[in-house]
Amino acid sequence: MRTILAVLLLGALTTAQISPAATTGTSAGTTPSAITDLVIPAGTKVPVALKHAISTKGTREGDGVYAETTFPVVANGRVLIPAGTYVQGRVSHIERGGHIKGRAEVLMHFTTLIYPSGYTVLLPGAVENAPGVDKTSVKDEEGTIRSDSQKGQKIGTVASSAGTGAVVGGLSSGGKGALIGAGVGGAVGTAIALLTRGNDVKLDAGTTLEIVIQREVALDASRVPATTRSSGTPE
């Protein structure tokens, strides 16, 4: 009987010692993941400025794109991307404007965030808006920047040349000469319009773009600044 009681007492003491340890281990195991989980949501807009120029005249497909964020991206009171973070990408497609039809286009994809600390994150990013680029528009969801149409300008060139020819012809040979001059001038204007390429897309260094994160990106919160200076904080 004494032997049985001793065995039961020993078992109870062993169970009491194991349970707290197991509970403590579980708690310790869940805490780090809760601390390090931080995500840039899909659809997040990021304002950037280019660090070097890009042009449909001089840039080639595959060339690098280098930019820098101009304003911190914050969600739920937490910095996700601080200002001054580098953004790197590639030119995926580039095309000059045609002589008769076809507009100049540039397509870029952004692939990497480089934080000021050196922390590097892969991301899928595309141009959402190009407010700093004159005479262009973003034509599709991929972020293709396309030059505006020059159709009106080319019609104006033909009309102007025809008008000048008519004046010269009229001064030299009267009404009949004016008609001939208009025809010659119109032909010259048409030739000029056909030989002239469409506007190039040119993005100078410092040009502002807005890019969009296309899929959510997981971050290590311990390597991202937890705060940013508020607008009301004095210099």
Domain count of the fold of the chain: 2
Question: For residues 104 and 56, is the Cβ–Cβ distance under 8 A?
Answer: yes
Which helix (H) or strand (E) segment holds residue 167: the answer is helix 151-195
Question: For residues 87 and 69, is the Cβ–Cβ distance under 8 A?
Answer: yes
What is the pLDDT at residue 147? Answer: 81
What is the pLDDT at residue 136? Answer: 75
Distances (CA, A) of 167 to 157, 158, 173, 185, 186: 16, 15, 10, 10, 12
The answer on 161 and 111 residing in a single domain is: no
Q: pLDDT tens across 169-185, in order? A: 444 555 555 455 445 44
Output the six-digit token pair for 207: 């040009």
The answer on 183 and 168 residing in a single domain is: yes
Domain for residue 203, yes or no?
yes
The answer on 213 and 188 residing in a single domain is: no
pLDDT over 60 (residue 197):
no
Domain for residue 229, yes or no?
no
Domain for residue 208, yes or no?
yes
The answer on 168 and 137 residing in a single domain is: no
The answer on 107 and 76 residing in a single domain is: yes
What is the pLDDT at residue 4? Answer: 55
Question: For residues 81 and 113, is the Cβ–Cβ distance under 8 A?
Answer: yes
Distance CA 199, CA 10 (A): 89
What pTM, to 2 d.p., does this model score? 0.62
What is the pLDDT at residue 124? Answer: 94
The answer on 214 and 175 residing in a single domain is: no
Q: pLDDT tens across 35-89, in order? A: 457 999 999 999 999 999 999 988 999 999 999 999 999 988 899 999 999 999 9
Question: Which structural domain range is residue 183 located in?
Answer: 151-197
The answer on 206 and 107 residing in a single domain is: yes
Q: Is 204 or 9 the better-scoring residue by pLDDT?
A: 204
The answer on 204 and 180 residing in a single domain is: no
The answer on 132 and 44 residing in a single domain is: yes
The answer on 114 and 203 residing in a single domain is: yes
Domain for residue 4, yes or no?
no
Domain for residue 234, yes or no?
no
Domain for residue 31, yes or no?
no
Strand partners, 55: 202
Tell me which range, 8-17, 23-32, 212-221, is most confidently predicted by mean pLDDT. 212-221
Give the confidence band of 206 by pLDDT, cuts at 50, 70, 90: very high
The answer on 189 and 141 residing in a single domain is: no
Domain for residue 5, yes or no?
no
The set of long-range contacts for 97-100, using a CB threshold of 8 Å and a minimum separation of 24, is 97/56, 97/147, 97/150, 97/197, 97/198, 97/199, 97/200, 98/197, 98/198, 99/194, 99/195, 99/196, 99/197, 100/194
For the chain, give the percent of residues with pLDDT over 70: 56
Domain for residue 173, yes or no?
yes
CATH code of 60's domain = 2.40.128.260
Smallest Cα–Cα separation from 108: which of 95, 127, 136? Answer: 127
The answer on 206 and 189 residing in a single domain is: no
